[in-house]
Amino acid sequence: MKDALHIKQTLQNISMDLKMADEYIIHSIFLLNPQTEEMKVYASTNPGPEYHFDMPIESFLNELKKEKTAEEMLAESAAENALEQEDAPRAKTGLWYWYAAVELDQSKASAELIEKGRNSAAARDPESMTQWREEDSRIIRNLRIGKFKRTAVDGLGIVAESGHTILTYLNKFGYVVTAVDEKTSIKVKLQIEKLKTGKNTVNVEGRINTGFFPLTNCKAVLKSRTTVNEYFFDIRLNRDEEKFTTKYGKNIYLFELEIPFDHLLPYKEDVYDLFLEGNMAFSMEPVRMRVGRPTMRAKYMFNELSGESEQEILLINPYYTLYKSNLSFEVFPFKEENYKYLKKMRRFPRLRQLMNRGKDVWLVGERPYKAQDTGYHFFKYMRQQHPEKNVYYVISKDSPEYENVASLGNVLEFGSKEHIKNAVIATKIFSSHHGNYLFPLRTKSFDKLVKATRIFLQHGVMGVKNMTNLYGVTSSSFKADLFIVSSEYEKEYISSDFGYKKEDIAVTGLARYDALFKQDTAVKKQVLIIPTWRDWIQNIESFLESEYYFRYNSLINNAELQRHAQDQGYELVFCLHPNMQAFSSYFENSPVNVIYQGDVDVQQLIKESALLVTDYSSVAFDFSFLHKPVIYYQFDRTKFIGPKGSHLDLLNDLPGKITEEESELVEELKKNVDNGFVMEELYKEKANRFIAYRDELSSQRIYEAALVYEKKKEFLSSLKESEFAMDVYKKFRRSKIYFPVMKKVYTIMRTVLPVNKNKAFFESGIGKNFSDSPKEIFDVLQAEKRDLEYIWSYNRKVNQSYDNTRIIERLSPAYYYHLATSRYWINNQNFPTYIKKRRGTSYLQTWHGTPLKRMLHDIEEIQGRDETYLERVSSAVKSWDYLISPSRYATESFKSAFRYTGPVIEEGYPRNDIFYRENSESQAQELKERLKIDPDKKVILYAMTFRDNQTAGNKFTIDLPIDFEKFHERLGDEYVLLIRLHVVISNKLKIPAEYKESIINVSSYPDIQELMLISDALVTDYSSVFFDFLNTDKPILFYTYDLEEYRDKLRGFYIDFEKDAPGPLCLTEDALYDSMADLDAVKAVYQGKYSEAKQKFTYLDDGQASKRVIEKFFK
């Protein structure tokens, strides 16, 4: 049908040639703006299978542009200067989609084609504008222009004219779009397929997919992280013409480049990042793309190399960054004689280690330029208390902190021959950061050479940010045998989250606490501001453009804070993170005392300051251990913490007030100063949880732990610590053979492995939740100290430590193993239907709600599921040994829907025990604070179910029937609306920032029962959540905007819903808001029906359901 498309742009003109098959007539092309619904039509002067469009670009722009008002230009300017763009993207009113108005030429088309066209027209969706339709016997349609059999584009690019821009391009789906005054970009896909290192050169080969935007004038760029230096290299770029032809004009290139390092770089330690830079139509400036994403071969098949500089030797270590696997080069300067000695010492390392084992050499250090943290304090202890030991400190000779350790003796100059030798023969390595900072080279090859036991001294209490990728057992860049921590609480999450065995974790306290708890420093009237770093800031440009710089520069220049400090007589000290020192010149004229961590003893600063302001730095814990007030300034918490979350419950665990805005921080600071710098008792209790010993003996405990520790490596542990093995596993996990293999493995395990009679396996919400009835049962078992091993299938982080509990990923190999060997299964949905329960395992099905809408065998026609759904679920039901029911009504409905004939535990719903706890009010208050809900506002929870007929592929979607602006205007001053989408709904909910005070998306909050605790009313549709909410005695509103369709076509109900619902059925949004506005009236009107519903559905809920269930199931 679509034969050929050719779009051409010159300096003055844009043209388009279309060619359809001979059976079609093009009457016109038109451009449609989907936001404004405006249309520009260009009729054909000679309708036929071919069409030619040609127009001067200036005229074309004048046709499509919309003149901006002064208000729009002001708003646009404000948006460009904003620190962060809002989550919800604005509507793009300048996008125009190209269409062709096409008719089937019945004089040329075959009878079969005509019949096909008429059938398509008869089945047409009335809402569709692109399907075939029949008008006056003519068969016509509007055809999106794009994805032609042959596609060619020439010279397309952005044009600026009289304050406007215009760009015509093929979007990511291959269709033609014209953007007027809209920013356009693409996500470039780049992959390294081969990385080859020679003596002093690096060759990189790969492919780059730029979609429908051609890439021209391409160069490779090597960019320094610490300077503005950049080095450009030619690149060989070849487009895959076959893909270009068969993929409707998609541009996929093969590239090759070579970097010769001889006499290229200055003689200094640095890191260089590799980019490709070229021109693409959507940008007037060259576009830079990071080079990375290696294949398995490119990730492992290379070595370090060397290059000459104007002075000595540079050793270059290619590596891939931790977060995105981008290619970078770490550069180490070496004296030539030391480099030769290094090469010599790398020969026969095992023999050298064996010959020097009797020396028992210990290396201690931090980073090469540091000597004031845990490494320094432990080394000082060793030199003073155990001078007979061969303990050495590693530090650069030109470090300003060199003198801190020089007087203690046994100091090794970083990169010297003595350093190289002792690094090879060392038996123990004590490091405050990554142990390889104590090596003359931070390369994988040298890392493998070192066989010393590695003791991680830490440089602060771990936990605020998820750091498993940096310090976990499976980290590709970190190794630790013995992990030093400060408390039993820290030990628990280092074990559960980071993967270390408890015998490999020592609770000693950090070495620097020896000095921290010395009573030798008077406290000054001094406020210490000491932020941590941001990983995403890697050069001067990104620093100056960052919110980090803007926020802290604004804070230290805050006029109100300066006045208060002057009036109250305290000093403000701003201490720069080591990574910020490269940008220190931007703070030179600040009105506060700016200092650098390298120039001062941070420990001394902590001891002498009266109050601390930080964001996420672990120095906050040190400060809190002295029971002095801490204020957190977390303006970018979501970005900093990242999608993996924290190891802690930040609101409940951190020993200080958390603020997000500068004004809030300043007010909290002033309050603490005015109160005499006294730490609140609540924060003292939180601080004490993170410290086991408040004494000066931490270094001694570390020494004693290191002496008795024996490194043991099991085969499975070694595999987990192998980056290559883990990459092989990940590839296998993503492959098509993974599930067939695991099904067979599970069958074998359930046949040959014994059942562990004390193991219980829990799952909730197909691994997405850590809540509901399984969680309530689990909590009671924990409280009763049952002699059980607990396995939880859960794909997220759990911010609490539990006894004998292991969290595993759903469908991982561990998932199948523990299912095969567990005595008890507890689930609120079904396990995969191919998982067959073995003899000796008991299965408790808790289900996940009292049924309102009809289910399974009670539905006349099941929608939104495949034809095997009913058979699969029916098979799963046969494996249930017990089914929990909250009422006689629910029991009858379950038996009918599931055709279940087994034992029923009709004792109330365990998940509703929460409503009867003594601490439910305080729990609700804590959650309100966590969600930052205005205490003066009422809370309404809107929890809607899914619609069987709203799907995208095999996933459920939803069209949210709430107008945010309308709710905000009518009720936003008095109410906060919490929106909770059903767990199976896949499309994401985005709430514009202007409504964040009145509407909150809580879909990702793990426990809906806790959300009910804080709610003053519930809005739902046909969700079973209303049965649970009856336990609160608070109003329920039913937003049933599609009642007839849902009742008559989709599901239907087990009760006379319209007659017996314990709240009003609101058929329109306005009716819903009217009911919300007068909840007291709703409660009064429906008091009778509410009481009847409680007597019928929740009469067994009393806070003890979990205990009764446990008594019957765990016999």
Q: In the numeric block, which tokens belong to residue 887?
A: 């009422």
| Model confidence, pTM | 0.79
pLDDT of residue 1049: 66
10 and 126 co-located in one domain = yes
pLDDT of residue 867: 66
Q: Give the start-end residues of each E strand in 57-144.
A: 95-104, 133-135, 138-144
pLDDT at 986 over 50: no
pLDDT of residue 582: 78
CB 121 within 8 A of CB 139: yes
Place of tokens 């100290």: 785
* Bridge partners, residue 842, by sequence: 824
Question: CA 895, CA 856: separation in Å to the nearest integer?
Answer: 11
* Bridge partners, residue 992, by sequence: none
Total count of domains within the chain: 6
pLDDT of residue 994: 87
Mean pLDDT for the stretch of residues 970-985: 84
Mean pLDDT for the stretch of residues 370-381: 95
| 698-709 pLDDT, tens digit each | 999 999 999 999
Helix axes 417-425, 336-345, angle to 10 degrees: 20
pLDDT of residue 85: 39
Is 328 part of a structural domain of the chain?
yes
* Domain final residue pick, 671, 691, 711: 691
934 and 826 co-located in one domain = no
* Bridge partners, residue 180, by sequence: 166
**DSSP H or E segment with residue 46:** strand 39-48
Q: Which of 773, 905, 746 is nearest to 841 (CA)?
A: 746
Mean pLDDT for the stretch of residues 996-1018: 91
Is 1086 part of a structural domain of the chain?
yes
CB 1051 within 8 A of CB 949: no
767 and 870 co-located in one domain = yes
pLDDT at 954 over 70: no
For 100, phi then psi, to 5°, come to -120, 130
260 and 403 co-located in one domain = no
- CA 319 to each of CA 88, 731, 797: distance values in angstroms, whole numbers, following the listed order: 36, 20, 29
Most confident among 62-71, 86-95, 155-164, 547-556 (mean pLDDT): 547-556
| 508-533 pLDDT, tens digit each | 999 999 999 999 999 999 999 999 99
Most confident among 3-7, 323-327, 429-433 (mean pLDDT): 429-433
pLDDT of residue 86: 38
Measured on CA atoms in the order 73, 78, 81, 83, is the torsion positive or negative? negative
Is 458 part of a structural domain of the chain?
yes
Residues composing the chain? 1115
CATH of the domain at 601: 3.40.50.12580
| 380-416 pLDDT, tens digit each | 999 999 999 999 999 999 998 999 999 999 999 999 9
Is 734 part of a structural domain of the chain?
no
533 and 618 co-located in one domain = yes
374 and 392 co-located in one domain = yes
| 61-107 pLDDT, tens digit each | 998 887 555 454 444 444 444 444 334 444 567 899 999 999 999 99
- Residue 377 vs residue 36, higher pLDDT: 377
235 and 174 co-located in one domain = no
pLDDT of residue 948: 54
- CA 501 to each of CA 216, 710, 729: distance values in angstroms, whole numbers, following the listed order: 53, 13, 22
* Domain final residue pick, 180, 206, 237: 180
Is 100 part of a structural domain of the chain?
yes
Is 659 part of a structural domain of the chain?
yes
- CA 171 to each of CA 2, 55, 179, 210, 288: distance values in angstroms, whole numbers, following the listed order: 17, 21, 11, 11, 20
The bridge status of strand 95-104 relative to strand 138-144 is antiparallel
Question: CA 907, CA 913: separation in Å to the nearest integer?
Answer: 11
354 and 306 co-located in one domain = no
Task: Mention every residue, 6+ apart, whose C-beta is less than 8 A from residue 962.
Answer: 942, 977, 979, 1069
Place of tokens 């049933």: 1040
304 and 353 co-located in one domain = no
Mean pLDDT for the stretch of residues 139-144: 92
* Domain final residue pick, 135, 163, 180: 180
490 and 612 co-located in one domain = no
Q: Residue 1070: what residue type?
A: D
Place of tokens 């290059």: 307
Is 586 part of a structural domain of the chain?
yes
Question: CA 916, CA 1102: separation in Å to the nearest integer?
Answer: 6
CATH of the domain at 365: 3.40.50.11820
* Bridge partners, residue 905, by sequence: 884
Is 680 part of a structural domain of the chain?
yes
Question: CA 757, CA 773: separation in Å to the nearest integer?
Answer: 22
**What percent of the chain stands above pLDDT 70?**
94
365 and 506 co-located in one domain = yes
Mean pLDDT for the stretch of residues 339-367: 94
| 467-480 pLDDT, tens digit each | 898 899 988 889 99
CB 318 within 8 A of CB 329: yes
What domain range includes position 506?
A: 348-513
| 1009-1033 pLDDT, tens digit each | 999 999 999 999 888 899 999 999 9
For 719, phi then psi, to 5°, come to -65, -40
| Number of CB atoms found within 10 A of residue 230's CB | 12
| Number of CB atoms found within 10 A of residue 667's CB | 13
Q: Tell how far CA 622 is from the center of its chain.
A: 28
801 and 652 co-located in one domain = no
